[in-house]
């Protein structure tokens, strides 16, 4: 047993404050290497009176290789001077783990230590963001509410999108459809860029202090925000602060004046004069139309921070989604957070990142990141079926394993965006697959990010095809998808476990394509079972309820009641982690979803 893999470091990945008096401590071991894990700890100034305190750690995630353990200890006072080590047990044998390593002897020194929780050490995402249903809008393609601001070359609504054409969507169009979004159940909007720019996507900003004329005016934005707030919705804007557009006035000044330009230190140039054809300046994606801003320059920092402050006070927006955030100097985001949180402590800061990025979620930069790893897992399991339920379970649990539990409810979990092919297209336009996938998304911990049109079955390959016009008169079969979204969102709002609960997988078999898990909040529990196949599948599904306490559990989608039977001697998924007391016999139709609850 001493040869087992045990990992703990005195870093934020393994020990972090939840509040000033609560401390989360984590340990990672080889999968199924231990039957139990305990934390032994004490305040080094108080051990004579308290002795060593012992707390059982919970295995909160399990992937292909590791078990992830965590315990949150309550120190009553502000947490300080905590010494600790671990005891792991397997089949009656115990080993101890401290800074020096593993031993069969109870150690007398070499303990880990946590010194102090300061007020600013704590990660705190806005309370309103936890479990929220977001709706991402690409304004140019959502709704044309004002024909008078259409660009001269606007093509008819519904035309095939290209990288260059305009179809007339604007802020008034969004205002006109707020009742639709409210009826869908949307709680927050995320708009892709709306500031003056040269392109239809607006990621090449020309004037950060002006709404693009094709979208409307600052008064239109204020009106949009006011109505959103009246309806109980939040709204965040896309901040493109890593780079600007080619026609951004300071860059044009540098093009014209070269070494004599007062903006020569605003950009990262290999030499002057600038040579746009050979691109002798740094850009985003080697794209000459998007010069990278030099955010190490105090003048540039002050300029961007002024933009962020301006729109928060001018329009009362609720936060920012930050484009290509992991290409920006992290010290700038630390300054950014201080500024926007001083204006509104509940301001929400969301980073675009395509990788696992927990270093942005330490409490000094972002409140959330776009969880594309979540999307990738759903594409591979539901749409492509190129991974098994076990592999899917491992990938989902790895995400939960590496991110702090304090961030789980605020991660932005999406299945598509303006930068990806539509999920329905990836699913070969099988509506049932989109429905099972959206059910998983809306029942999983975190923010559920809906990309406009997914709820009515829009299709499209990647950019520009994924940026089609919203279809405001969808066919009947696609309205069924919309009704499905409404039903799931309503359940998510009504059932606290689906919005705020912990996650644990409890069904994963090599015999079929069924996946099951449960969410738990304050002893309230909801089970979710998904048949990701076109086969009728019968399963025995384990539950924590016993037949003596619960006669039936009810499927909230179909209304069907399921008899709770004895769990028997079956070997269920993760039976070493969960105390299964009962079982349900379920017959699942192709691509059926069950959301099961006992009251």
304-335: per-residue pLDDT in tens? 999 999 999 999 999 999 999 999 999 999 99
How far apart, in Å, are the Cα atoms of 440 and each of 242, 307, 379, 515, 593? 33, 37, 12, 10, 9
User: Is residue 1 predicted with pLDDT exceeding 90?
Assistant: no
User: Is residue 286 predicted with pLDDT exceeding 90?
Assistant: yes
How far apart, in Å, are the Cα atoms of 65 and each of 161, 357, 367, 511? 44, 20, 29, 22
User: Is residue 449 predicted with pLDDT exceeding 60?
Assistant: yes
Residues 86, 94: Cα–Cα separation, whole Å? 10
Q: What pLDDT shows up at residue 396?
A: 98
CB-based contacts of 298, cutoff 8 Å, min separation 6: none
Burial of 124 (0-12, 13-18, 19+ CB in 10 A): middle
Residues 549, 3: Cα–Cα separation, whole Å? 43
Q: What H or E segment, with its residue span, contains residue 553? A: strand 552-555
Residue 358: HSE in the Cβ half-sphere, 13 Å Cα cutoff: 16
Q: What pLDDT shows up at residue 462?
A: 97
Q: What pLDDT shows up at residue 3?
A: 54
Residues 344, 329: Cα–Cα separation, whole Å? 23
Residues 186, 490: Cα–Cα separation, whole Å? 10
Q: What pLDDT shows up at residue 521?
A: 96
DSSP state of 161: P
DSSP state of 354: S
Q: What H or E segment, with its residue span, contains residue 182? A: helix 178-184
- Our CA dihedral for 577, 580, 583, 587, rounded to 10 degrees, sits at -20
Q: What pLDDT shows up at residue 2?
A: 46
Class of 127-242+295-494 in CATH: alpha beta
pTM given for the model: 0.96
**Catalytic-role residue among 212, 323, 367, 393:** 323
**Catalytic-role residue among 146, 352, 367, 455:** 352
* Domain 127-242+295-494 shares a fold with domain 243-294: no
Band (pLDDT 50/70/90 cuts) for residue 220 is very high
User: Is residue 156 predicted with pLDDT exceeding 50?
Assistant: yes
Domain ranges of the chain: 6-121, 127-242+295-494, 243-294, 503-597
490-501: per-residue pLDDT in tens? 999 999 999 999
Over pLDDT 90: what percentage of the chain?
A: 97
CB 57 within 8 A of CB 39: yes
101-151: per-residue pLDDT in tens? 999 999 999 999 999 999 999 999 999 999 999 999 999 999 999 999 999
User: Is residue 163 predicted with pLDDT exceeding 60?
Assistant: yes
186-195: per-residue pLDDT in tens? 999 999 999 9
Mean pLDDT across 226-240:
98
323 given a catalytic annotation: yes
Residues 513, 502: Cα–Cα separation, whole Å? 23
35 given a catalytic annotation: no
Mean pLDDT across 263-268:
98
Mean pLDDT across 351-359:
96
Superfamily of domain 6-121: Immunoglobulins (2.60.40.10)
Mean pLDDT across 339-344:
98
Lowest mean pLDDT among 119-128, 204-213, 269-278, 562-571: 562-571
Residues 111, 54: Cα–Cα separation, whole Å? 15
User: Is residue 456 predicted with pLDDT exceeding 90?
Assistant: yes
Tokens of 207: 């004037």
Superfamily of domain 243-294: Oligo-1,6-glucosidase; Domain 2 (3.90.400.10)
Q: What pLDDT shows up at residue 4?
A: 76
Lowest mean pLDDT among 295-299, 415-419, 472-476, 484-488: 472-476
The β-bridge relationship of strands 53-56 and 36-43 is: antiparallel
Residues 356, 353: Cα–Cα separation, whole Å? 8
Band (pLDDT 50/70/90 cuts) for residue 213 is very high
The topology (CATH level 3) of 503-597 is Immunoglobulin-like (2.60.40)
Residues 420, 415: Cα–Cα separation, whole Å? 9
13-32: per-residue pLDDT in tens? 999 999 999 999 999 999 99
Residues 456, 292: Cα–Cα separation, whole Å? 37
429-445: per-residue pLDDT in tens? 999 999 999 999 999 99
Instruction: Give 596's strand partners.
Output: 527, 555
User: Is residue 277 predicted with pLDDT exceeding 90?
Assistant: yes
């Amino acid at each position: 047993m001493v040869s087992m893999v045990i990992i703990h470091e005195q870093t934020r990945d393994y020990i972090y404050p939840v509040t000033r008096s609560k401390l989360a401590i984590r340990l990672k071991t080889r999968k199924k290497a231990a039957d139990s894990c305990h934390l032994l700890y004490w305040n080094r100034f108080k051990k004579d009176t308290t002795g060593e305190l012992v707390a059982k750690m919970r295995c909160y995630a399990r992937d292909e290789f590791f078990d992830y353990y965590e315990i949150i200890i309550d120190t009553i006072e502000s947490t300080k001077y905590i010494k600790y080590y671990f005891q792991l047990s397997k089949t009656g044998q115990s080993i101890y783990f401290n800074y020096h390593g593993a031993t069969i002897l109870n150690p007398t020194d070499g303990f880990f230590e946590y010194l102090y929780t300061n007020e600013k050490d704590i990660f705190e995402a806005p309370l309103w963001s936890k479990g929220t249903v977001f709706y991402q809008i690409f304004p140019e393609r959502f709704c044309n509410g004002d024909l008078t601001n259409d660009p001269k070359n606007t093509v008819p609504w519904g035309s095939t999108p290209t990288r260059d054409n305009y179809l007339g969507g604007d802020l008034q169009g969004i205002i006109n459809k707020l009742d639709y979004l409210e009826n869908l159940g949307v709680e927050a909007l995320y708009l892709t860029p709306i500031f003056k720019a040269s392109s239809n996507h607006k990621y090449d900003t020309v004037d950060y202090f002006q709404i693009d004329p094709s979208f409307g005016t600052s008064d239109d934005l204020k009106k949009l925000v006011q109505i959103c707030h009246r309806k109980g919705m939040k709204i965040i804007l896309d901040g493109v602060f890593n780079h600007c557009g080619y026609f951004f006035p300071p860059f044009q000044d540098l093009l014209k004046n070269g070494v004599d330009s007062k903006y020569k230190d605003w950009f990262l140039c290999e030499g002057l004069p600038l040579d746009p054809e050979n691109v002798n300046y740094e850009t985003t994606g080697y794209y000459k139309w998007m010069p990278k801003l030099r955010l190490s320059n105090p003048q540039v920092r002050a300029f961007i921070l002024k933009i962020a402050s301006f729109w928060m006070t001018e329009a009362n927006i609720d936060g920012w989604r930050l484009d290509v955030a992991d290409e920006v100097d992290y010290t700038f985001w630390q300054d950014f957070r201080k500024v926007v949180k001083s204006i509104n402590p509940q301001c929400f800061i969301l980073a675009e990142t395509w990788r696992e990025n927990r270093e942005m979620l330490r409490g000094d930069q972002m409140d959330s990141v776009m969880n594309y790893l979540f999307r990738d897992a759903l594409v591979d399991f539901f749409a492509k079926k190129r991974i098994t339920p076990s592999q899917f379970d491992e990938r989902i649990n790895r995400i939960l394993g590496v991110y702090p539990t304090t961030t789980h409810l605020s991660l932005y979990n999406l299945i598509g965006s303006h930068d990806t092919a539509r999920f329905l297209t990836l699913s070969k336009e099988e509506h049932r697959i989109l429905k099972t996938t959206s059910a998983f998304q809306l029942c999983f911990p975190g923010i559920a990010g809906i990309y406009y049109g997914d709820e009515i079955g829009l299709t499209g390959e990647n950019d520009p095809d994924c940026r089609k016009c919203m279809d405001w008169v969808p066919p009947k079969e696609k309205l069924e998808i919309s009704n499905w979204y409404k039903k799931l969102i309503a359940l998510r709002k009504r059932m606290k476990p689906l919005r705020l609960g912990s996650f644990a997988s409890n069904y994963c078999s090599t015999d079929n394509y069924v996946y099951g898990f449960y969410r738990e909040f304050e002893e309230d529990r909801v089970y979710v079972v998904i048949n990701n196949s076109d086969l009728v599948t019968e399963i025995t599904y384990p539950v924590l309820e016993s037949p003596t306490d619960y006669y039936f559990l009810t499927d909230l989608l179909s209304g069907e009641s399921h008899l709770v039977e004895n769990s028997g001697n079956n070997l269920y998924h993760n039976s070493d982690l969960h105390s299964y007391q009962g079982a349900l016999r379920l017959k699942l139709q192709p691509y059926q979803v069950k959301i099961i609850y006992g009251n």
